[in-house]
A and B are shown apart, each in its own frame.
Chain A
């Protein structure tokens, strides 16, 4: 019934986008979106390092991403920022930025050319985190979307419940005289945790790397709660009442052990799966993600009204097969990038086959 997504389908989804080795390219506008190689003109969805790379000639992004890009890539980059809903026209291509809810300044990029509109989501989450401008659907003919958590086993709980769980964990640790340490990505996840924990009345103490990233986020005007900065001489007594936010790499540092007994936690969408939780090697794991869950991904596809979808990152093949079965024309980024001969998982999944 579902069949192979590649059957009876055009080789390329649209003439206005090309999947090149450098990244996603818009030929009429002459610019790349989140390119992975150095290019002359780059449009950046958000400031995470796998999307915003060094060395491009010119950067265009959402207004709030500008200080974050400068923080990451240096003060000297040439960058231009735009408000949500705004953008520019280049050689007949109308380009605009729209909130994706992933992190501060994160945007979906809408491209319109000769009456055809495509939206490149970058990373997005449909859940309102109360900190950033929330995601809203953008109507389009074609969608290039992420599929990091595109399996029905990934469903997120309301973040207030996760916050309550974290607060209970912190209280238990405090009652035992243990420090509560959460490893978090310095840009994005760390600020979300600060905001979330403040809602439960819990302060944070930031690793210097996270404190720097936080200062950059603050400079965009986002209201973040006050936080203490960790240093080697920090008094463990002051830290018991807080949650320590550390980059994953710093979690095992010897000076942390000197502060006293520690209970560590991870906050990630992967924590949903038991096998992944144990791989994170933390004492506790909270399911908290800045990506859309299964329901969010499906909602995004439905709400934008697209008939063509290109799926990128994560479970792209199964999600493409799933959307194909629902009557959409689908491609995975891998097959567009590497050509028809490229073998993706699409071919190994037999939709008619049973369980072994």
Chain B
């Protein structure tokens, strides 16, 4: 239990890929039974709770005889009732040797036991666990364990330890299993039937366009489409089931059940490529407010997810990847025409190019989309085959604005550190903060800026300094979307600091009206 609670602490303390190392360390050292249980818990299938939080509180206060107000004070300082309750007991005299699986087996054995026996057994266990282990165990006990590092990260750790292919692991992790009956050995060695669990193809490579357009030959040899801003996926149908795989190797079906449900209408043994978008209810127009970030929560009101299909890689079991794109698209259009109108499926527009100028205008088109950009695909191109040309992304020209420095957050350590600059724009009701940026300026400028801040800051709130509306900064951003949650009513997309416009007066900076106009393209 101690090793698992340390893993939990480590996973909570870091983000992203940094979490891989602790996972690998744990899986490498853990006994097989612990491995299996830990994997199930982290994959989102923890055991059902044995006690309610109220009952845990009753037990802990009953044992320690601490008054309720003292517990309340402890909770105030831990910020978490389960943590406060778990730390109330004295530490054991010797470090515990109880494993994760031992604790879980005990928990299972108490499901049908009388409350008195539950109390007795749990008290004994609690007295043997250290505070931190007791806390993690109590989270499991009360069904409040919520740490989920994500299936892909788990699959990568399993691959590093046991050499299991991540796609295989993803399939295994995508369905609940019982770690009491299915050990980690069986979980990963048992064969999965390929017809029931089809794998995605490798995704065709996509590169940013690095060369001049006229080196690409005739424009008519290329197809272009506006770049959608959802997750790139392959949708696989097989025997009445469907699976959504992301480009990163993640199984996404559980996040988009409506797409999975709609996929039953698609031909069997087929693979489609596309992007997942969030669409407005009704007309099906893309909502600039949500399209940039595919919703991870289901049932979001006013929008639904939709697969914007742009390629057909396999049809009725026949691999189409070595066919030219134009042929695949023809088949795709025919396939889609045979379907009833589905709001969860849409066909991406892929336009033949007449001139390179047309491409630039397509890429720069921001209306209705959070940001521009276009895909450029060779019309005769094959999909992920030897010698195939990658698809290319043509970036839209970023937008630029001059904004005024409003607040500065000083760094937590070191007197010279600047943490963040808050930039704003003038509106009739005064200045409004529009974005917050890291001060990515040359060292000499940072130094000068610090001097300016020291000399002219008008107020301070902890590490934050309020600046008079004098300093102008130029920024670059990819677009604007409206937002009801921000005071300014809009969000700049991917803003970055370009330069400090020293000596420029605040009158030359953009106003809120200017920014709103740029949002309308």
Chain B, Cβ-Cβ closest to A278: B13
Encode B67-110 as 1/0 by CB contact (under 8 A) with A: 11111111101111001100110110001000000000000000
A89 at interface, CB cutoff 8 A: no
Which residue of A161, A272, A275, A349 is within 8 Å of B73 (Cβ)? Answer: A349
Q: A155-B90, A155-B91 are in contact. Are A274 and B72 (CB under 8 A)?
A: no
Cβ contact within 8 Å between B68 and A354? yes
Among A56-64, A100-108, A191-199, A317-325, the stretch in contact with B: A317-325
Which residue of B69, B95, B131 is within 8 Å of A161 (Cβ)? Answer: B95
Most B Cβ at <10 Å: residue of A157, A277, A353: A157
Cβ contact within 8 Å between B66 and A152? yes
Most B Cβ at <10 Å: residue of A274, A275, A350: A274
Residues of B within 8 A of A238 (CB): none
* Range of interface residues on B (Cβ < 8 Å): 20 to 34
Q: A152-B64, A157-B91, A161-B95 are in contact. Are A353 and B78 (CB under 8 A)?
A: no
Instruction: Please give the distance in Å from A287's CB to the nearest CB on chain B.
Output: 8
B130 at interface, CB cutoff 8 A: yes
A19 at interface, CB cutoff 8 A: no
Chain B, Cβ-Cβ closest to A2: B67
Q: A252-B414, A273-B78 are in contact. Are A156 and B91 (CB under 8 A)?
A: yes
B319 at interface, CB cutoff 8 A: no
Chain B, Cβ-Cβ closest to A164: B95
Cβ contact within 8 Å between A349 and B69? yes
Chain B, Cβ-Cβ closest to A160: B95
Q: What is the predominant secondary structure among interface residues of chain A facing chain B?
A: loop
Bound complex: CA A297 to CA B66 (Å): 16
Cβ contact within 8 Å between A249 and B13? no
Encode A317-355 as 1/0 by CB contact (under 8 A) with B: 010011001000000000000000000000001111111
Residues of B within 8 A of A274 (CB): 9, 12, 78, 80, 83
B413 at interface, CB cutoff 8 A: yes
Residues of B within 8 A of A272 (CB): 87, 131
A263-281: which residues lie under 8 A (CB-CB) from chain B?
Answer: 272-275, 277-278
A153-186: which residues lie under 8 A (CB-CB) from chain B?
Answer: 153-157, 161, 172
Residues of A within 8 A of B74 (CB): 151-153
Residues of A within 8 A of B130 (CB): 157
Cβ contact within 8 Å between B13 and A153? no
Residues of B within 8 A of A249 (CB): 413
Bound complex: CA A275 to CA B80 (Å): 9
Cβ contact within 8 Å between A325 and B87? no
What are 11 A-to-B residue pairs whose CB atoms are below 8 Å?
Answer: A153-B78, A153-B131, A155-B87, A272-B131, A275-B78, A277-B9, A318-B70, A321-B70, A325-B67, A353-B72, A355-B68
Q: Which 10 A-B pairs have the closest CB atoms?
A: A153-B87, A318-B73, A153-B74, A351-B69, A155-B91, A275-B79, A252-B413, A152-B88, A157-B91, A151-B74
Interface residues of A (CB under 8 A from B): 2, 151-157, 161, 172, 249, 251-252, 272-275, 277-278, 283, 295, 315, 318, 321-322, 325, 349-355
Given contact pairs A151-B70, A273-B78, enumerate 6 new A-B contacts (beta carbons under 8 Å).
A152-B74, A155-B90, A157-B130, A274-B78, A315-B77, A351-B69
